[in-house]
Chain A
Amino acid sequence: MADLVKFTINGQELEAPAGMLVIEAAKQNGIEIPSFCYYEGYSLQAACRMCLVEVEKMPKMQVACTLPVSAGMVIRTETDQVKLARKSTLEFLLTNHPLDCPVCDKGGECELQDMVFRYGAGESRYTETKIHVNEQQWSPVVFYDAPRCILCFRCVRACDEGMGVSALGVINRGAQSLISPNMGDHLECDECGQCIDICPVGALTSGAYRYQTRPWEMEHVGTICTHCSDGCKTTLGVRNDEIVRGNNRDRSGVNGEFLCIKGRYAFDFSESAERLQSPMIRVNGKLEEVSWSKALETIGKKFAEVKAKGGKFGVIGSNHTTNEENYYLQKFARQGLGTNNIDHQRTGDVVTLVDALSGTTGRLAKTEDFYERKAVLVIGADLSAEHPFLAFQTRANYRHHEAHVYAVTAEAVREDNMATRSVRVAKGEELAGVEGLRDALAAETELVVVFDDSIKGDKVRSLVAFGESLGIPVSYCALVDYSNSRGAIDMGLVAELNPGFHATGTAGASVDEMLAANDLAALWVVGSNPLQNAKLAASRAFVVVQDLFLTETAQRADVVLPTASAYEKNGTVTNGCGEVQRLKRASATMGAKTDLEIIGLIAKEMGLAPLMGPWLPETVYAEIRKTVKGYDIPLPLVTIGAQQTAPVNGRVGVDSRPDLIRSSHDKLFTSGTLGRYSTVLNSVIEGRQSR
């Protein structure tokens, strides 16, 4: 850190590192200097002139957003001259700004509105004709209303620097300047919507949210995005039990303000008209709606019958359900039904990684490591498309800390643009590519290694051995696909592992083995769609499916139970970096119940309620804290921020079955089964093209 220098603002003696911008130094000390174009983390623009301050011995006022503090500097931010400058700047910004606040989406949370309220310029001397440009729609999610634009260029920088997409630009000059999309009349980009959120006024508006509601009419519920495994916090705006928007302007969560299209818009699957709202039972070959009590009774009876006869059970868990539900489900399967045949669709080899790192601590990468460590090695994955937030972190690390980025992938990836070295390898040859980087990597001071399912089984051990041989601190992240894929492993939705990576001794059947077993008597699928691309061999098996939609698997079911989505339940989930975060219920769908409640009710039907305990998320979490290694984290800590778990410190001692590990490599516009029911993901042009 640079040396501290002394300076004064408004007579207050202050200290800050030399070279820090005046606007930041002031903010650190609780002094607000208003600005539009200055945005923490992006390049400096000095376009809006809102942050003018007086500096002693400088004849003219200075822009605080580009002026570094230096020793002995005397700054004044509240003099008459500064106040007049702010007022004049606002009057100037308003010359062409329409006063349509009553119908503007930004009304109530508009920075320009706030500033005018605070600093004046209630009257305008501008009597000439305003320049009008008609509103444009650039994509299903982005609209642009040029006259409202105050030309702060935040959107351009967020897209260029933050996302690495560069889809927005400024054309023309002076008062005629316009923000322009890359394809002339429309956008082809990540459709992340960052530009909309970062817009201080209502120039860029969201297709999902526009003209829907007012910010103060919504309840703002901070929960965790249920799509990929990055674990971004999305703050859902809920009105009348309906989710109308997603963003994270309060920068809570691991992701700060970042969200991709899924976190910002793809909550809409939860509001889909195709949601199941009533239990169904197969009668004469057709699924018919029945009451919950009838459905639960049927399942209870049948399960008890199969158990009594010693029939073979199969239980398939989900990549999206909460830790509590996963724990509860495996407990029911193992202790209630007496079977180890419980598994989920495995998407990354966390098990071997944890095993290979046994005896070490703090070697599993945290989300923040992608921003803070000096070097990042990406193996296999198209990070920007599959794990947009980790890619965003890495890009910010490159931008702010000049981190070295290495990419070893089969195809060209966006990380190439900032990579110190990019290596193209044939699929399966990733390790050879990594070996080729040995000298470069050994010269780094520290490294984060992130890999997808191209590295599994013994390859993970080889990779860890390689990392350890570099002689520098290395931390690792095994990418998994979905919001709680990691939690599914930790909670023991694995045929050969109990919760906390404890070997079961006798391994149960995996998903593939369950589907292939002719003698399967009952199959219980919770929030998964294994029959999408596979067949169930046991034609007479009794199939129970809990899901949001009538998926391929649900269509084969004997009993279908409608469940609540992740946005409709409380609980905890664990992201790909092993950080536990808390889900908060935002809305509700009539007729659906949470998986936790359903599992509890089935247990009750079978007389197993005393064994299972109450189906309250907090109670189950308390049990997880006691019994699952690494999860002894108080709930309040999980509520306020992500907490990384330390799952094991010793050998796991099972075969991780690399043959079963298959990532679906969902990109920005697909999200497994959920993505199929998201109107937004299916409407954007890039989504259609990538399919």
Chain B
Amino acid sequence: MTFSPELEARFEKFLAKYPADRKRSAVIPMLVYAQDETEAITQELIEEVAKRCGVTPLQVDEVVGFYSMLHKKPQGKYHVQVCTNISCLLVGGEELWNQACHKLGIGHKQTSADGRVSLEEVECMGACSWAPAVQVNYDFYHFVTPGQLDKLLDGLAAGKKPEEIADVKKVSC
């Protein structure tokens, strides 16, 4: 399996970072970055990562099944994740989630028909201080109000990039 030169360079860095007998530590970062390029984690990718990290394909599959940010099905171009864990829940996380489902007409781990937006109800993403929080791909949105969520989802559905949407500020991480 071949990847872009940038990704190959990244892989090399990961593999060099861990001791020779702990190559399996590179499984997660490799999968995360690879899925961005291949859109989803395919069997071929699992086997490739297994080969490079010196583990069995099943051992990679275990990781894929365990972590919610690793996907076997392609996500939408913008993957919207709404936290409904305790801190967000207390300040309206669940309402945001219901609003998003209703607005997009899709549910948990589903993708809009045009493939632009997908939705996921996630567990705590470590943004409790800024609850309620929403994540789009790798970017966070803090203290999200229902109004802001409306604008964000409308914008994304209309084909805008997140940074082109007015009044909704992302926090890059």
Decide if A182 touches B56 in the complex (CB within 8 Å): yes
B57 on interface, CB distance cutoff 8 Å: yes
Among the stretches A97-105, A168-176, A391-399, the one at the interface with B is A168-176
**Residue B42 at the A interface, CB < 8 A?**
no
Quick check: is A663 within 8 A (CB to CB) of the other chain? no
Q: CA–CA, A643 to B62, complex, Å?
A: 45
Q: Please give the residue numbers on chain B whose beta carbons come within 8 Å of chain A beta carbons, in ascending order.
A: 55-59, 61-62, 65-66
Residues of B within 8 A of A167 (CB): 58
Q: Which of B58, B62, B65, B66 has the most CB of A within 10 A?
A: B58
- The residue in chain A whose Cβ has the minimal distance to the Cβ of B68 is A173
Q: Give bound CA distance, A168 to B57, whole Å.
A: 11
| Interface core residue of A169, A170, A171, A182 (most chain B CB under 10 Å) | A169
A182 with B58: CB separation less than 8 A: yes
Please indicate the chain A residues that have their CB under 8 angstroms from the CB of B62 in the complex. 169-171, 180
A171's contact among B55, B56, B65, by CB below 8 Å, is which?
Answer: B65
28 pairs, A vs B, C-beta closer than 8 Å:
A166-B55, A166-B56, A166-B58, A166-B59, A167-B58, A168-B58, A169-B56, A169-B58, A169-B59, A169-B61, A169-B62, A170-B62, A170-B65, A170-B66, A171-B61, A171-B62, A171-B65, A172-B65, A172-B66, A173-B65, A173-B66, A180-B58, A180-B61, A180-B62, A181-B58, A182-B56, A182-B57, A182-B58
A180 and B56 CA atoms in complex are apart in Å by 13
The answer for the CA separation of A181 and B61 in the assembled complex, in Å, is 11
Within 8 A of B (CB), among A169-201: 169-173, 180-182
B100 to chain A, nearest CB (A): 23
C-alpha spacing A285/B57, complex, angstroms: 59
Bound state CA distance, A170 and B65, in angstroms?
A: 9
With A169-B59, A181-B58 known, 9 other A-B pairs at CB within 8 A are A166-B55, A168-B58, A169-B56, A169-B62, A170-B66, A173-B65, A180-B61, A182-B56, A182-B58
Q: Provide the bound-state CA to CA distance between A171 and B62, in Å.
A: 5
Nearest residue (CB) in A for B58 is A169
Cβ–Cβ < 8 Å partners of B58 in chain A: 166-169, 180-182
Question: Which residue of A has the minimal Cβ distance to B62?
Answer: A169
Give the distance in Å from the alpha carbon of A168 to the alpha carbon of B59 in the complex.
9
Query: Which A residue's beta carbon lies closest to that of B61?
Result: A171
Q: Describe B's contact surface by its main secondary structure.
A: helix
Query: How far is it, in angstroms, between the C-alpha of A168 and the C-alpha of B58 when the chains are bound?
Result: 8
- For residue B55, which residues in chain A have a CB less than 8 angstroms away from its CB? 166
The 10 closest A-B pairs by CB, nearest first: A169-B58, A171-B65, A169-B62, A172-B65, A182-B58, A173-B66, A166-B56, A170-B62, A171-B61, A171-B62
Closest to B56 in A: A166
Size of the A side of the interface (Cβ < 8 Å), in residues, is: 11
**Residues of chain A at the chain B interface (Cβ within 8 Å):** 166-173, 180-182
Give the shortest distance, in Å, between A133 (CB) and chain B (any CB): 14
Main secondary structure of the interface of A (DSSP, over half): strand
Which residues of the other chain, B, contact A168 by a CB distance below 8 angstroms?
58
B43 and chain A: residue at smallest CB distance: A184
CB-based nearest B residue for A165: B56
A173 to B123, CA, bound (A): 14
The CA-CA distance from A166 to B60 in the complex, in Å, is 12
Contact partners of B65 in chain A: CB under 8 A: 170-173
> Which residues of B sit under 8 angstroms from A180, Cβ to Cβ?
58, 61-62
Report the bound CA distance from A173 to B62 in whole Å. 9
Separation of A511 and B55 alpha carbons in the complex (Å): 48
In the complex, the chain A residue whose C-beta lies closest to that of B60 is: A169
A182–B55 alpha-carbon span in the complex (Å) = 12
State the Cβ distance, B154 to closest chain A Cβ, in Å: 34
**A170 contacts across to B, CB distance below 8 A:** 62, 65-66
Cα A334 to Cα B61 in complex, Å, equals 64
In the complex, A169 Cα to B66 Cα: how many Å?
12
CA distance A249 to B159 in the complex (A): 64
**Which chain B residues border A171 with CB–CB below 8 Å?**
61-62, 65
Determine the distance from Cα of A170 to Cα of B62 in the docked complex, in whole angstroms: 6
Report the minimum CB–CB distance from A380 to chain B (whole Å): 26
Q: In the complex, A99→B62 CA distance in Å?
A: 28
Contacts of A173 in B (CB 8 A): 65-66
Contacts of A181 in B (CB 8 A): 58
User: CA–CA, A508 to B13, complex, Å?
Assistant: 69
Query: Whole-angstrom distance between the alpha carbons of A181 and B57 in the complex?
Result: 11
Complex Cα distance, B57 from A535, in Å, reads 49
Q: A172: which B residues are within 8 A, CB to CB? A: 65-66
Q: Which residue of A lies closest to B64 (CB)?
A: A171
> Which chain B positions have C-beta within 8 A of A182?
56-58
Residue of B nearest to A417 (CB): B54
Query: What is the distance, in angstroms, from B118's C-beta to the closest C-beta of chain A?
Result: 20
List, in ascending order, chain B residues with CB within 8 A of A169's CB: 56, 58-59, 61-62
Q: How far is the CB of B134 from chain A (nearest CB, A)?
A: 23
Output the nearest chain B residue to A172 by Cβ-Cβ distance: B65
> In whole angstroms, what is the CA distance A171 to B41 when docked?
15
**Which residues from chain A contact B59 at a C-beta distance below 8 Å?**
166, 169
Q: How far, in Å, is B133 (CB) from chain A's closest CB?
A: 22
**In the bound complex, what is the Cα–Cα distance between A181 and B59 (angstroms)?**
11
Cα–Cα, bound, A166→B24 (Å): 14
* Whole-angstrom CA separation of A664 from B82 in the bound complex: 64
Tell me the bound Cα distance from A331 to B87 in angstroms: 87
Of chain B, the residue at the smallest CB distance from A174 is B66
Contacts of B56 in A (CB 8 A): 166, 169, 182
A141 to B135, CA, bound (A): 47
Question: What CA separation (Å) do A171 and B65 show in the bound complex?
Answer: 5
How many Å lie between the Cα of A168 and that of B56 in the bound state?
Answer: 10
Q: Which residue of chain B is the closest to A167 with respect to CB atoms?
A: B58
Instruction: Give Cα distance in the complex from A169 to B65, angstroms.
Output: 11
- The residue on B at minimum CB distance from A173 is B66
Minimum CB–CB distance for A183 against chain B, Å: 9
Cβ–Cβ < 8 Å partners of A166 in chain B: 55-56, 58-59
Q: Report how far A181 CA is from B65 CA in the complex, Å.
A: 14
CB B123 to nearest CB in A, in angstroms, measures 11
Chain A's nearest CB lies how many Å from the CB of B85? 15
CB distance from B162 to the nearest CB of A (A): 29
How many whole Å from A128's CB to the nearest CB in chain B?
19
Distance in angstroms between the alpha carbons of A166 and B50 in the assembled complex: 13
- Chain B residue nearest to A170 (CB atoms) is B62
Complex CA distance for A612 and B141, rounded to whole angstroms: 94
B58 CB to nearest A CB, Å:
4
The complex places the Cα of A485 from the Cα of B61 at a distance, in Å, of 44
A166 to B62, CA, bound (A): 12
Q: How far is the CA of A181 from the CA of B55 in the complex (A)?
A: 15
Shortest distance in angstroms between B84's beta carbon and chain A's nearest beta carbon? 16
For B57, the closest partner residue in chain A by CB is A182
Which residues of chain A come closer than 8 Å to B61, judged between CB atoms?
Answer: 169, 171, 180
Give A183's nearest chain B residue, CB to CB: B58
A136 to chain B minimum Cβ distance, whole angstroms, is 15
Task: Quote the shortest CB–CB distance from B63 to chain A (angstroms).
Answer: 10
- The distance from the CB of B6 to the nearest CB of chain A, in whole angstroms, is 30
Q: How far is the CB of A163 from chain B (nearest CB, A)?
A: 13
Assembly CA distance A171 to B61 (angstroms): 7
Q: How far is the CA of A172 from the CA of B62 in the complex (A)?
A: 7
Query: How far is B65's CA from A173's CA once the two chains are assembled, in angstroms?
Result: 7
> In the docked arrangement, what's the CA distance between A173 and B69, Å?
13
Q: How far is the CA of A622 from the CA of B65 in the complex (A)?
A: 62
* Chain A residues in 8 Å Cβ range of B57: 182
CB-nearest residue of chain A relative to B55? Answer: A166
A371→B66 CA distance, assembly (Å): 35
| Cα–Cα distance between A166 and B59 once the two chains are bound (Å) | 8
**Bound Cα distance A167, B62 (Å):** 12
How far apart are the CA atoms of A168 and B62 in the complex, in Å?
10
Q: How far is the CA of A167 from the CA of B58 in the complex (A)?
A: 8
How near does chain A come to B115, taking the closest CB pair, in angstroms? 26
- A residues within 8 A CB of B66? 170, 172-173
Roughly how many angstroms separate A167 CA and B61 CA in the complex, as a whole number?
12
